Structure 1
Amino acid sequence: MSRTASGELLWELMHPDDRAWTPDAPEEYHGLHLGWQRAACVPIEWHRRTLPAVKIRVCAHTCECMVIVYELGAYGGKYLIRRTTRRAEGDRVVETDHLGAKDIGELWSRLLCGLAR
């Protein structure tokens, strides 16, 4: 996949509804919400984040109104999905393997559509 094609893929993943959040967005606008989990849903292999944490650039994320928030992150030419579960005793953070743009794009799409969890 060319650099241009992978960049276009990531742009589409970051802005699937062409309504990126801005400070002056309507109050009722939220971020992305996951689709219902489907029968064909496959498990994602999650790994505990090991310290020191990899500093990532968040390219896309699900809505902050949920207890579980997913982030599509980039760093050094690789990508990952980070899942944060908010709990009273502290957040639990896990991550996927670090993948290329095409593979993470497919996984992010499957997650959003309810085909992967």
Structure 2
Amino acid sequence: MEERSKGKWRLYATPAGADVVSKEIREVLQGKPPAIELGHLMWRIEHEQVMGRDVRTLGRGLSEARLSYRGDEYRLYYAVLTDGEHLLLGLKFHKKGSRGAQDRAIETARDRLAEWQRRI
């Protein structure tokens, strides 16, 4: 049976072309094993095969992908957009820390989503 994907992933880049989310992932994970787990999580989201704890809707078009690895928690904030085809837009990635840091990461993701939508 062929796997049907919900959409294709694209990571947010600034209007000037800076791949900020790719950079966040590289800096936080540094090529360590959680990077592989993040790839698996993104695949499950893309193919609508998420487990209960994998994702959470945050409202106003933003969702949170949750990755746990050996006691560490990571978050990828993303939006599902439709422009002829489904696009899963990764907006912000970070290692979960204090509540304030998480709130700032969510606000950054919301700002990036608003900027992206103004651009298209």
Task: Flag the structure with higher strand content.
Answer: 2
Relative to its length, the structure with more helix (as a share) is 2
Q: TM-score normalised to the size of structure 2?
A: 0.30
